[in-house]
Amino acid sequence: MKLWGGRFEKETNKEVDDFHSSIHFDYRLYRQDILGSIAHATMLGKQGIITPEEAQTICQGLEGILKDIEDGKIEFSTACEDIHMNIEALLIERIGQVGKKLHTGRSRNDQVALDTRMYTKEAICEIIGLLISLEEVLLELAEKHKDTIMPGYTHLQKAQPVTLAHHLMAYFEMFRRDVERLEDSLKRVDIMPLGSGALAGTVYPLDRQMVAQQLGFSTIFRNSMDAVSDRDYILEFLSCASIIMMHLSRFCEELILWSTDEFKFVEMDDSYSTGSSIMPQKKNPDVAELIRGKTGRVYGDLIALLTTMKGLPLAYNKDMQEDKEPLFDGLVTIKNCLSIFIGMLKTIRFYPENMLKQASRGFINATDVADYLVNKGIPFRDAHNIVGRLVLYCIHQGKVLEELTMEEYKQFSDVFQQDIYEAISLINCVNRRSLPGGPSPSAVSQAIEEGCNWLKQKK
């Protein structure tokens, strides 16, 4: 018979049993469920709601179940619906009547909220850990490539010269905000719901603070209906995960582009690439493409749960059981993606000479010619126009700006002098951009140092 079978005259339809049972995915919550139950039972004992001996028997029973699950000795049953009732049924089977006292002053509604909160807290910490490892790799690479000049793009058209270090540090900053976003979200997950019962609290003199403390929560819920019926903490986690995936995906897109023969700025290691079944010459950046692809999947997890939640009246509704698969799927996906991305980035080979070669074409220093004229007293708008005409002239002549003779320069403005050549050398163009936040090696060194200090605090 079902744990809730008292009021029923008929067995559940088999198809319904399969349909509403969630054990095939929520078994993942077994550890959180057992730890939560141990804390609840200990508190019931201390408050005299059950005897201390009963509490001890329950806790020992639960510990035995935890060990057996971890040793792979337990097979869960669909008839028991979910992880909460599977464990309770196992407990009663093992310790008898006293096991039936565990659920005093508790509902599956506050229980499942507790378990998923514990799970989400751990998930957040795991993702922060992976992001920190990624940040370390980025800092190392940036340190090595402070002087590696490459084209910077807007509209995917060559724009101005930057350094590879500066480009990589842009991602460092994005992932740093991702870490901070996750840390901030932790505050809102870290609230203990037990004691809220099904929706309206409970009549037993529970010590909610004690349970919170035992389970490592900073605080308890102020409203029992809120505690059992919101899933905003999962949504917030999935939002953070979606933003991280979006950052990863953009990075992957660049690495894919950069590994084409047309760019050849990077080459993925053989161990992170795959071949084609028909074209023998191919070496494909499948890993980066798959991460880019899986981004859609994590967005899907977020949208699925947002949609599930949008029309639900307070308090608990069974729809909310649909929170778990997006949570689990989102977590596994982002974990795998981050971990494999770190490996890929560590083994990637950069080709600074190709970056420099590409930066030397395409009039990437045209702004610097304009700035040169401004320096000689010409208003910026006029300077812009002069250089525009210069570039057009170069295109017609098949030359770049560095290749023009002094005579040619003079045809466009008589303020041009010999020092123009130095002013537009790529290295000088980069070095001059030394404001905080700029690409010059000195500015990037400061950003790296600041990043290292931040990272040290995190470890």
Nearer to ligand ARG, 149 or 320 (CB): 320
Helix 324-347 with 232-258: angle, nearest 10 deg: 30
- Residue among 15 and 71 whose Cβ is closer to ligand ARG: 15
Has 155 been annotated as catalytic? yes
Nearer to ligand ARG, 237 or 316 (CB): 316
CB of 22 to ligand ARG, least distance (A): 5
Q: Do 47 and 108 contact (CB within 8 A), yes or no?
A: no
In the complex, the residues that contact ligand ARG under the rule CB under 6 A are 22, 82, 108-109, 112, 316, 318, 320-321
Q: Exactly one of 133, 218, 276, 339 is catalytic; name it.
A: 276
CB of 29 to ligand ARG, least distance (A): 9
Instruction: Please give the Cα distance from 127 to 151 (Å, whole number).
Output: 32
* Cα 361 from chain centre: 37
| Minimal distance, residue 109 CB to ligand ARG, in Å | 5
Is residue 40 annotated as a catalytic residue, yes or no? no
Residue closer to ligand ARG (CB basis): 258 or 316: 316
As a whole number of angstroms, the distance between CA 396 and CA 394 comes to: 5
Distances (CA, A) of 412 to 242, 353, 383, 391, 406: 51, 32, 10, 11, 10
Question: Rounded to an integer, what distance in angstroms lies between the CA atom of residue 89 and that of residue 111?
Answer: 15
Please give the Cα distance from 258 to 262 (Å, whole number).
8
- The distance of closest approach from Cβ of residue 66 to ligand ARG in the complex, given in angstroms and rounded to an integer, is 19
We find the least distance from the C-beta atom of residue 73 to ligand ARG, in angstroms, to be: 23
Q: Which two tokens stand for residue 101?
A: 């006292």
Shorter beta-carbon distance to ligand ARG: residue 160 or 321: 321
Please name the amino acid found at residue 427.
I
Element (H, E) at 324: helix 324-347
Residues sharing a CB contact under 8 Å with residue 289, sequence separation 6 or more, in sequence order: 252, 256
Active-site choice (155, 271, 277, 396): 155
Residues that are catalytic: 155, 276
